[in-house]
Amino acid sequence: MAPKQRPPPPSDLDVYRSAHLWVQRHGDAATSKAREMVEAMRKEGDEDGVDVWLRIIVAIGALAELRRRVSQGHARKDRRWTSNQSNR
| Sequence-distant (≥ 6) Cβ neighbours of residue 10 within 8 angstroms | 18, 52, 55
- Count, in order, helices (H) and strands (E) of the chain: 3, 0
Provide the pLDDT for residue 4.
Answer: 74
39 domain-assigned: yes
1 domain-assigned: no
Structurally, how many domains does the chain consist of? 1
| Sequence-distant (≥ 6) Cβ neighbours of residue 19 within 8 angstroms | 30, 56, 59, 60, 62, 63
Residues spanned by the domain of 66: 12-77
Other residues' Cβ atoms within 10 Å of the Cβ of residue 15: 21
Identify the three-state secondary structure at position 83: coil
Written as tens digits, the pLDDT of the chain (88 aa) is 666 788 899 999 999 999 999 999 999 999 999 999 999 999 999 999 999 999 999 999 999 999 888 888 865 555 555 555 444 4
- The beta strands (E) that lie in 32-88 are given as none
82 domain-assigned: no
